[in-house]
Amino acid sequence: MKKSIYIFLLTIFLYSCKSLQKPTIVTSKQVAQKTGSYTFTEKTGLEKPSKPTKKEIKAIEKAKQKAAQDSIEQSKIKVVVEEETPQDFTPTFEVSDYIKQQILNVAAESLGSPYRGGGSTPAGFDCSGFVTYTLNQFDITLPRNSAEMAQIGKRILKKDAKPGDLIFFKTNGSYISHVGIVTENTDGVIKFIHSSTSSGVVYSSTSESYYARTFVGVNRILE
């Protein structure tokens, strides 16, 4: 009897061991999850962003460089305004001596053009129309009338006038009404090119009594 019980218990033990050693066959992700052999974490939308492409990096660097350059240009403008013009904004145009000479050459091309009130083309100029037309060829924009032009740049002594400076006159009462472009200065005697009411675009000089009498001053707008 005892022997039979012993055999029975031994049989149960061996069967149990065999069952424990039997591998679990995983046939799907669901089965793997149930058995604990697979786990996952649901995405939350905060995944690490992908690296930018070379094209994107180049565009970012270009934008940074432009922003830095814009900041430098704005700083330059601020310095010019504070140092050169303690009053309202006054533009100063930085050009080489070569460009100044080219401005005078372009002005000379208009010699002989007739005077025309309100004119601003070689078909006919008034004084300020001639000056604005000439400088516009070099992307330099000025006010349209001589009185407003006299408010820009910086006033200099007559003896210090240089080619490219603007020269102003009061030819019509007590206010500035005429402007020309300085071409030469010999010991304070200034030669300039302008559009006169009587002769159109010509050269004149402050040695002439009319212009000596009506002379107001010289402004430098080109540095």
| Catalytic-role residue among 194, 206, 218, 221 | 194
**Would the pLDDT of 15 be above 80?**
no
73-87, 153-167, 207-221: which range is least confident on average? 73-87
| Residue 3 among the catalytic residues | no
Confidence of residue 217 (pLDDT cuts 50, 70, 90): very high
Mind giving me the DSSP string for 74-131?
HHHHHHHHHHH-SSS----B---HHHHHHHHHHHHHTTTPPB-TT-EETTEE-HHHHH
Q: Which of 135, 178, 183, 196 is catalytic?
A: 178
Is 194 known to be catalytic? yes
Q: How far apart are the first and last CA of the chain?
A: 126
Residue range 132-171, pLDDT digits in tens: 999 999 999 999 999 999 999 999 999 999 999 999 999 9
> What is the mean pLDDT of the segment spanning 8-22?
54
In this predicted structure, the answer to whether residue 84 has a pLDDT above a threshold of 90 is: no
Is 170 annotated in the active site? no
Exactly one of 103, 107, 127, 201 is catalytic; name it.
Answer: 127
pLDDT in tens, 38-49: 555 544 544 555
CA-wise closest residue to 218 among 128, 139, 154, 147: 154
